[in-house]
Amino acid sequence: MAVLGIQLVITLMMATVLSRVGPHLSLARWLLTSKFAGLVRYLHPSDEELRTFAPAPRLDKKTVKKARQQEKREGGAKEQAFQVPRNADYSLATAPVELTDLVQLRYYSEYQWLLDFSCYSLITYTLSELYISLLPAKAALEVNLSLVWVVLVLIFTYKLLLSLNGLYFEGEEAGGERSLVLVMGGVYLLLAMMALVVGEDTLETGLEEAYTSFNHSAAEFLETNAGLDSAGPASKLVLKFFIALWCGLIGALFTFPGLRVARMHWDVLRYHEASRSKVLLHLGFIAPLVLTCLWVRPLAREPLTERLYRGRTEPLLTAEQFEALRLYLVAATIAFRLVLMPRYLQAYLNIAYDKVSMLRQEAGKISNTDLQRTVVRVFYYLCVVALQYVAPMVLILHLALLYKTLGGGTWTGASVVEVAAVANVTEEMGEAVVEEDLGLGSLLPGQAEHTVEELRQQFSLAWSSLKHVFTVQVFRGLLGFSTWWCCFAWFASAAIGIGYQSYFADPQAV
C-alpha cells in the first residue's frame, strides 16, 4: 500500500515548523505574556519597606559581637528574620507577567510543550482532513499520520495529569489532598458503574454495539486463523469493570483541576459583578454540561433527529448532522474556554492581594519571610494552575477528534451511505494495489526478495485482520463514551468546587 504520500509530507512539514518556529512563536507563551492576556502579578514588599513598620531592636555590644563571629564562621552574612504587625499599612506593587519570570516557574516547560504541541497537532489534523475530503480515493491508500499526533497529545496530557495529581501525594502534609483524590476516585467509580447500567435508549454510550461488533469479529478471526470455536474472547462484565476503573481514574485526575477552575470562577465573578461579561462567564462554565446532555438521548437526539414538529415533514437534523453538531460544539466550547483563560488566571493572581487583605484584618505579628512567601507562592504556581485549566480541555478535544475519525463521522454531516460507498471503492483500490505489488515482487529473483514479499503479505493480512476486529462500531462506542465521560467529569468536578466555595471555602485557601 502507498504509505509515502501527502500525509507524510504534512507530518514532516509540521515537525519542521515545530522545531524551527516553535521556540519563537508559542501559543502558550502568548496566552500568558501578550497584551491580550494582560496578566499582572503582585510583588512582595522588600525587607527595607517592612523594616519601617518593625524597627530592629537595640542590641548590646556582646550580642552584636557574637552575631558577627557567627557570621564569619558561616562564611557570610545571613539574612535575619524579623516580625512585622499583620495589620501594617504596606502596599503591593504590580508588574506585568513576562517571559523572564515564567521560565523560572515550576511546570512551565510542560505547559508550553503541551499547548504548543496540541496546536501543531490540530494544524496537522486539519490539513489531513482537508486532504482526505478533497482526494478521498488517494488518501485512503495512505496511513493517516495525523492520528499519531492526536494519540501523542493524549498520552502527554494523561501523563501530565498524573504528574499534577502526584503533587498532592508528596510529603506528610498532603494527607487531606490525598484523601480527597482517593474519595473522589471512588465516587466517580460508583457513578461510572451506574452510567454503564443505563440503557442505550436513555444514555447513548454505544458500548453495547461496540461489544457485539468486537465479539463477533474477534470470534470470526479466531475461528479463521486459529481454528478456535469461540463465542467471543471477552466478557461484557469484565470489560465494563475495566471501563469503570478507567472512569474512576479520570474522575480522580479531574478533581483538583475542577476545584481550581471553580475557585477561579468564583473569584472572577466577584471582579465582574457589575459587568456584562458575567453572562459569558456563566455560559462558559455551564458549556460542559450542555456537552454532557448531548449524549442523553431524550434530551438531544430525539428532539433533533426523530421528533416531527408542526409544519415540517422531516426532523430538524439527520443522524449524521447531529454527530457533526456534537463535534462542532465540543470544539467551540474548548475555544471559548481558552479565550476566557486570561480572566481566570488573573483572578488566580489576585489571590495574593486577597491574602494580604485578610492578614490586615488579623491581630498579632508575622515574620517578613512568611509574609513574602505568602505573596510569592501564588505566582510560583501559575503554570501549575494554567495546566490544570487547559489539560482537561486538550484531552476532551483530541478524544473528540479520534471519535470523529475512527468512529466514521464527518464534518459535513454526509449520509452514511455516501461515506460507505467511497470507503468500499477505496478499499477495493487498496486491495488491487496490494495484489499488484505482490505480483511484481514474485517476479524478482532471489530469496531475499521473496522473504520481503512474504513479510509484506503477512503484514498486509495482519493489518486487514486487525481492521476487521477493531471496527468502526468498536471505536465509536469506546471513544464516544470516553468523550462523554470526560465532559461529565470536567463539569461535575467544577460543580462540586462551586458547592464547596459556597458553603465551606476558606477565604485564605489558595
Q: Give the pLDDT confidence of 44-89 residue by residue, as tens digits.
A: 888 777 777 765 555 455 655 665 666 566 554 445 677 887 777 7
φ, ψ (nearest 5 deg) of residue 366:
-145, 145
SS3 510: coil
Confidence at residue 384, expressed as pLDDT on a 0 to 100 scale: 94
Q: How do residues 460-470 score in pLDDT, each as one tens digit?
A: 566 666 677 77
pLDDT reported for residue 220: 75
pLDDT for the residue 1 = 43
Length of the chain: 510
Report pLDDT for 236.
84
Domain ranges of the chain: 6-13+27-44+105-503
- Predicted confidence at residue 308, as pLDDT, reads 83
Give 413-459 pLDDT, tens digit per residue.
776 544 444 444 444 444 444 444 434 344 344 444 456 556 656 65
Measured between alpha carbons, how far is residue 111 from residues 6, 101, 107, 389, 395 in Å? 31, 15, 6, 10, 14
pLDDT over 60 at 163, yes or no: yes
Task: Tell me the whole-structure pTM to 2 decimals.
Answer: 0.86
Whether residue 114 contacts residue 391, with contact meaning beta carbons closer than 8 Å, is answered with yes
- Residue 422 has a CB neighbour count (10 Å cut-off) of 14
Q: Which tens digit of pLDDT belongs to each residue from 238-247?
A: 889 999 999 9
Distance from CA of residue 328 to its chain's centroid?
17
Average pLDDT over residues 336-357: 92
Cβ atoms of residues 221 and 465 within 8 Å: yes
In angstroms, the CA 139 to CA 426 distance is 9
Report whether pLDDT(396) > 80: yes
